């Protein structure tokens, strides 16, 4: 059985890592961990510890700081290197957090640093095709060295459940959960609730983050809008099952158009219809339409969101297949089986690269 050396100061409990690491043995790979004390000197530590030669070095998500040392060690041992960044540090700092102006010296330096890292990898993993295109265009990585592997959901945890029963006249619940960051644009949800004119619904925003206070301010006087604190990850599926409609992200920025958020995968896996912004991140097989499980709205448009919620709430007031359609979409387009096949292709590419 070939071995993959999972390299870096990573969090093994982060959902992206857990999903991929659980799939690797089924694909015929043995996973060996290497947690260096210091990222920059990890190659020296690996040599001192006489770590055996693997068939592949894998640097997981967010670990740009581990890549240089991993690259030096892998090159010295003649082992292919795979990097799964999940996000671009340059994109996050410059265009999401707006830490430096794009034309500033700091921005150019950060871009050069990340470009040099991305180009060290034999195979670069992207979570969507839109992100793959961005990595190629922004950092001059050849497209044939980038493979797409979706984020997905933990199938053992996020499973379908019957839709809530509203025969007692209780309102349909529209649930957003997240970290209240700009990419998610939770304020659009509150603005949608203010202009909403459809069947009675309860709008719930769950979580904490930078924009929560602004959302609370915008929601003053709206009896239909409620806020809840975060729940433990293991309890999240049960909370999703209590809701009828789940909300994705609504920011009009470029990055929001390149990602498929965790909550979209998780909500579909739970058998709940999802409303989110129009995006090129989704695969072509995901058909746009009212019966597709995913329901699209114009980015940054609270009126469009309010209209879509009204349409789904009306359908949910009677007999509806929305939950079944959401589960069907997840199984066909985003399940563990789909992700495993994407990983199989990526791993095959590393063997060719080696």
Say how far residue 288 (Cα) sits from the centre of its chain.
Answer: 20
Segment 220-247 shows an average pLDDT of: 97
Question: Using one digit for the tens of pLDDT, what is the confidence trace for 67-96?
Answer: 999 999 999 999 999 999 999 999 999 998
- Predicted TM-score (pTM) of this structure: 0.93
Q: Give every CB contact of residue 333 below 8 A, 6+ residues apart in sequence.
A: 283, 285, 286
The Cα 127–Cα 131 span in angstroms is 7
Instruction: Considering the chain, tell me which residue range(s) the CATH 3.40.50.2000 domain(s) occupy.
Output: 3-152+335-353, 172-333
Characterize 249-272 residue by residue with b for buried, 16 or more Cβ atoms within 10 angstroms of its Cβ, and e for exposed. Answer: bbbebebbbbbbbbbbbbbbbbbb
Which is nearest to 313 in space by CA: 174, 206, 169?
A: 174
The Cα 254–Cα 96 span in angstroms is 9
Residue 295: which H helix or E strand, with range? strand 294-297
Question: Using one digit for the tens of pLDDT, what is the confidence trace for 215-225?
Answer: 999 999 999 99
Give me the helices (H) in 119-164, please: 129-139
Question: Using one digit for the tens of pLDDT, what is the confidence trace for 135-181?
Answer: 999 999 999 999 999 999 998 999 999 999 888 889 999 999 999 99
53 pLDDT above the threshold of 70: yes
Kindly report the length of the chain. Answer: 354
**CATH domain 172-333 topology:** Rossmann fold (3.40.50)
Its CATH architecture, for the domain 3-152+335-353, is 3-Layer(aba) Sandwich (3.40)
185 pLDDT above the threshold of 70: yes
């Amino acid at each position: 059985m070939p071995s993959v050396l999972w390299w870096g100061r990573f969090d093994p409990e982060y959902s992206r890592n857990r999903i991929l690491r659980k799939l690797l043995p089924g694909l015929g790979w043995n996973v060996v961990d290497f947690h260096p004390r210091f990222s920059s000197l990890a190659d020296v530590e690996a040599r001192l510890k006489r770590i055996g030669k693997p068939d592949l070095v894998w640097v997981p998500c967010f670990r740009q700081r581990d890549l240089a040392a991993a690259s030096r060690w892998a090159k010295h041992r003649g082992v292919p290197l795979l990097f799964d960044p999940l996000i671009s540090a340059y994109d996050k700092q410059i265009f999401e957090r707006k830490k430096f102006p794009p034309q500033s010296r700091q921005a150019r330096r950060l871009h050069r640093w990340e470009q040099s890292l991305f180009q060290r990898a034999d195979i670069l993993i992207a979570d969507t095709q839109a992100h793959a295109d961005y990595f190629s265009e922004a950092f001059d990585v050849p497209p044939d060295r980038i493979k797409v592997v979706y984020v997905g959901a933990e199938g053992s945890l996020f499973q379908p459940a019957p839709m809530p029963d509203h025969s007692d006249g209780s309102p349909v619940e529209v649930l957003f959960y997240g970290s209240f960051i700009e990419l998610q644009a939770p304020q659009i949800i509150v603005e949608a609730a203010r202009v909403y004119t459809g069947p009675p619904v309860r709008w719930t925003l769950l979580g904490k983050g930078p924009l929560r206070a602004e959302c609370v301010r915008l929601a003053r006087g709206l009896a239909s809008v409620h806020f809840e604190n975060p729940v433990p990850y293991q309890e999240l599926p049960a909370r999703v099952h209590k809701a009828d409609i789940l909300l994705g992200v609504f920011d009009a920025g470029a990055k929001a158009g390149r990602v498929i958020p965790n909550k979209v995968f998780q909500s579909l896996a739970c058998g709940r219809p999802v409303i989110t912004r129009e995006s090129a991140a989704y695969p072509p097989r995901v058909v746009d339409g009212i019966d597709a499980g995913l329901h699209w709205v114009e980015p940054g448009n609270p009126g469009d969101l309010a209209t879509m919620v009204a349409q789904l709430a009306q359908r949910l007031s009677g007999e509806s297949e929305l939950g079944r359609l959401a589960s069907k979409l997840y199984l066909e387009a985003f399940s563990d089986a789909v992700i495993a096949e994407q990983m199989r292709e990526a791993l095959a590419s590393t063997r060719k690269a080696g």
